[in-house]
Amino acid sequence: MTRRLMVATLTQAGLKLLGGNVSGQWGSRGQQLIHHCSALVYREHTVNIDTVRIEQLPLPVLSKHSVRVKMLAAPVNPADINMVQGTYPILCPLPAVGGNEGLGEVLEVGEDVITVRPGDWVVPVDAGFGTWRTEAVCEEGDLITVPKDISILGAATIAVNPCTAYRMLHDFHTLTPGSTVIQNGANSAVGQAVIQIAAAMDIRTINIIRDRPNCGEVVKELQALGADYILTEEEAMSGLQRVFQEVPKPKLGLNCVGGISGGLVLSNLDYGGTLVTYGGMAKKPLHIPAKSLIFQNITLQGFWMTQWKRNHRQDKAHLRSMLDSVCELVRLRRLRPPNCIQTPFPQYTQALDATVQPHQSKHVLIM
């Protein structure tokens, strides 16, 4: 009775969610509803993530161009929490299903669908899919296949962080074997992917990490991933002369912290280098002296994977090529899935609660 009531309420609300991929989930008058799914739904934007509740939603019947997918795994990323809280630059119309990243297996396809087949593994092309659910019906164009010979966790976490690392290493400077990259937040999911993808490209990484009690452990972990140099912020402050006796100064710096840590990346760039910012974990602005821009010819840019995917939405070959490259690294075990805590879908509150805390391992919902 509760379930039936919920469906009725959502149907009557007649609200549209962002993207064709999600809107159909609420059903519409007159459609023959066959399947249902469980989904983590939020009906308002608030810092209190307890408002995210599991709900039963109807799935529309398949059209000629749509696809029914069973979700296998979906991470809980900080950006997902920001979307729930309403502080992210893109928001889904409410009510909405949470989650932007995840792996699904195709169950059923409409008769005109050509790019995916039942049994294929797929990931969403765009943010706003609402991956925290057991099943979804969406347009074929909303999905792209990934190979099935990598792990579920590897596939479920590939489309945001490793792809961010991949793009930043390819799109801002032509890096050749032996050249260097410097980054802060080196222990973040993207930072770890940067280390591994750079190592596969024969590019040296200079990695700055937060001063923390378990520094020794982190250093060992990052070395195991292929990090060439690892320094705490404090060590980096006293200069990288030793490093630059061995390797050239980097043309590319990656910053996900800001504040003093961002300044450490900036001040160690080579003439004409680029500082790419993709996060602001310290919640403090970068301080940029004029001379860095004028006399060191440094360029500052930002990178946002969501925007990149939107800019290349009509250019699936570009997305395909990136995913193939990154999946190949996973297959070769040169790119490991991040350390993550697997959480059964019904215990989703643990995953959400952990993600709002700082410096937690990534949680992945297993459906």
Task: Give the pair of three-digit tokens for residue 34.
Answer: 């066959």
Task: Give the pair of three-digit tokens for residue 188.
Answer: 């973040």
Binding a copy of itself by CB under 8 A: which of 301, 339, 347, 361? Answer: 301
- Alpha carbon distance, N-terminus to C-terminus of the chain: 24
In the stretch 71-110, what mask flags binding to a copy of itself with x, by CB under 8 A?
Answer: ------------------x---------------------
In the stretch 315-344, what mask flags binding to a copy of itself with x, by CB under 8 A?
Answer: ------------------------------
Nearest approach in angstroms of CB 226 to a copy of itself is 26
88 an active-site residue?
yes
Residue 114, Cβ neighbours under 10 Å: how many? 8
Q: Closer to a copy of itself by CB, 207 or 277: give it.
A: 277
Residue 136, Cβ neighbours under 10 Å: how many? 30
245 Cβ contact partners less than 8 Å away, ≥ 6 residues apart = none
Q: Residues 104, 136: contact at Cβ < 8 Å?
A: yes
Binding a copy of itself by CB under 8 A: which of 6, 15, 300, 319? Answer: 300
Stretch that binds a copy of itself, among 61-69, 225-233, 271-279, 340-348 (CB under 8 A): 271-279
Strands 180-183 and 204-209: parallel
Contact between 295 and a copy of itself (CB under 8 A)?
yes
Contact between 7 and a copy of itself (CB under 8 A)?
no
Per CB under 8 A, contacts with a copy of itself among 272-291 are: 277-280, 285-291
Contact between 294 and a copy of itself (CB under 8 A)?
yes
261 dihedral zone (left: phi>0; alpha: psi -120 to 50; beta): alpha
CA-based nearest residue to 190, from 363, 353, 364, 362: 362
Residues lying near a copy of itself in the complex (CB under 8 A) are found at 89, 255, 258, 277-280, 285-304, 307
Active site residues: 88
